[in-house]
Amino acid sequence: MLPKQELIRLRVGIGHDTHRLASGGPLMIGGVSVQHDYHAVGHSDADVLLHAITDAILGASDLGDIGEMFPNTDPANKGRDSIEMLSLAMAKVKVSGFSIINLDCIVFAQRPKLSQFKPAIRQRIARALELDASQIGLKAKTGEGVDAVGNEKAIQAQCVALLFRE
């Protein structure tokens, strides 16, 4: 068992995001433009994975959530690059004294199959967060033809982040 002071230094955050899909690609996933016949609809670039990661790291460091930091009511966030939002959130996380130990992420999409894109997505996230790609777990799941994901009406992502306070 970890001593009490060590438990306080470890923090877990969870992030989740969902975006509606509409005709016409490409689809932004993890900062990578994936050729597809649908794109995610949102106020920013609608990168569902980066939004889930941003929420997870903000939550773990008790800094709120992506909607508080980048409200969709602010015109400055219209079409905003989610990599930029993630980087700005990470800067706040660092100022609060936290570092990322690892992320474990899942993208839920019926199509496209993401296997070939996983290395590029992991590398893009690692660069944005100044991590090694080995610190980023990434899985892709289909909707098995069920509900909004399975019927290609939505894309979702989840992320669990483990942070350490220096």
44 by DSSP, 3-state: which?
Answer: coil
At residue 7, the pLDDT reads 59
At residue 3, the pLDDT reads 67
Cα(123)–Cα(132) distance, rounded to whole angstroms?
A: 8
Taking Cα atoms as reference points, which of 153, 95, 92, 161 lies closest to residue 131?
161
DSSP secondary structure letter of residue 15:
E
Rounded to an integer, what is the distance from CA 65 to the centroid of its chain? 12
10-residue stretch averages of pLDDT, the chain, 166 residues long: 70 98 96 96 96 98 96 91 97 97 98 97 98 98 95 98 94
Q: Checking DSSP bridges between strand 154-165 and strand 32-34, what pairing results, if any?
A: unpaired
At residue 5, the pLDDT reads 63
Can you give the CATH number for the domain in which 121 is found? Answer: 3.30.1330.50
What's the structural domain count of the chain? 1
At residue 77, the pLDDT reads 87
By residue range, what is the domain housing residue 30?
4-165
Q: Is 84 exposed, middle or buried (0-12, 13-18, 19+ CB in 10 A)?
A: middle
Nearby residues of 122 by Cβ (< 8 Å), 6 or more positions away:
30, 133, 136, 138
At residue 8, the pLDDT reads 77
Q: Which tokens in the block code for residue 118?
A: 């996983």
Q: Give residue for tokens 């700005």.
A: 88
Angle CA 138–142–148, to nearest 5: 120
Cα(19)–Cα(45) distance, rounded to whole angstroms?
A: 11
pLDDT digits (tens, 9 = 90+) for 63-94: 999 999 999 999 998 989 999 999 999 999 99
CB 140 within 8 A of CB 113: yes
Model pTM score: 0.94
